[in-house]
Amino acid sequence: MLKVGITGGIGSGKSTVARIFSHLGIPVYDSDQRAKDIVSSDPQLIAQIKELMGEEAYLPDGSYHRKYISEQVFKNPEKLKSLNLLIHPAVRKDFEAWVKLQSGAPYVLKEAAIMNRDSGLDAIIVVHTPVEERIARVIKRDGKTEDQVKNIIENQKTEEEFISVADYVVNNGKSHSILHQVLEIDNRLRSTPDQ
Ligand code: ADP
């Protein structure tokens, strides 16, 4: 099965572009959403998170104490790094299990904000939008302040760094039409041999 990643900074439009692929019949794995699921359901990951963050990481009903964890990692970037080092491999394992269930698909898409050349994917699509437009879209989407959005963006890769890992780029700035770009990439991926 050909595994294709789709990435881009916050507000670049990766979920929007992924939705178009999904309408074309391509299964999409939403890494953020799946990470939120597995921190409350994967017993091995739960044990590792408790070891790192303490028993307070989970509420008495067993659910992930998101607020507590956010506060802890906000104060301690090293803890955030360690937490990500637990969550990312667990997501990757979950993705591989999910891929096995998609046997009839022409290829599959993995949507994630963090993606590198060594992410185990056969190709990477980067959604590229000028930063000013991303800021405006996220303010509108999430109701965040400009400073909050800028702060998130500063902690992500730059547009150039994103593009440096791309096999395909979708330009999602206001003067571009994404539909024809997606159709062209989909065509090429459907005719890419499985690796
Ligand atoms: P990401 O998943 O990369 O954070 P989204 O796909 O959620 O980005 O897009 C961010 C916001 O911008 C959403 O509210 C989306 O509806 C909007 N958006 C996406 N693409 C465009 C576009 N080409 N023109 C205007 N708004 C867009």
Average pLDDT, the chain: 95
Q: Give 190 Cα–ligand 1 centroid separation in angstroms.
A: 25
| Atom number, ligand 1, closest to the C-alpha of residue 178 | 23
- The predicted structure's pLDDT at residue 125: 98
- The predicted structure's pLDDT at residue 188: 98
Distance CA(96)–CA(100), nearest Å, equals: 7
From 137, 139, 169, 176, the mutation candidate for ligand 1 (largest count of ligand atoms within 8 A of CB) is 137
Q: Give 74 Cα–ligand 1 centroid separation in angstroms.
A: 26
Domain 33-101: homologous superfamily in CATH: P-loop containing nucleotide triphosphate hydrolases (3.40.50.300)
State mean pLDDT over 155-159.
93
Query: In 3D, which of 10, 14, 40, 32 has the Cα closest to residue 152?
Result: 10
Residue 154 has pLDDT above 70, yes or no: yes
Q: Note the pLDDT tens digit of each residue in 6-22.
A: 999 999 999 999 999 99
Domain 1-27+106-195: homologous superfamily in CATH: P-loop containing nucleotide triphosphate hydrolases (3.40.50.300)
The encoded tokens of residue 177 equal 């039409």
Q: Which amino acid residue places its CA nearest to atom 10 of ligand 1? A: 11
- The predicted structure's pLDDT at residue 193: 86
Residue 195 has pLDDT above 70, yes or no: no
Q: Give 11 Cα–ligand 1 centroid separation in angstroms.
A: 6
Residue 72 Cβ < 6 Å to ligand 1? no
Q: Give 188 Cα–ligand 1 centroid separation in angstroms.
A: 24
pTM of the model: 0.93
Residue 8 Cβ < 6 Å to ligand 1? yes
Residue 15 Cβ < 6 Å to ligand 1? yes
State mean pLDDT over 171-191.
96
Rounded-to-10 torsion of CA 3, 42, 35, 20: 50
Domain coordinates in residue numbering, the chain = 1-27+106-195, 33-101
Distance CA(56)–CA(54), nearest Å, equals: 5
State mean pLDDT over 26-32.
97
Shared fold status for 1-27+106-195 and 33-101? yes
- The predicted structure's pLDDT at residue 50: 97
Residue 101 has pLDDT above 80, yes or no: yes
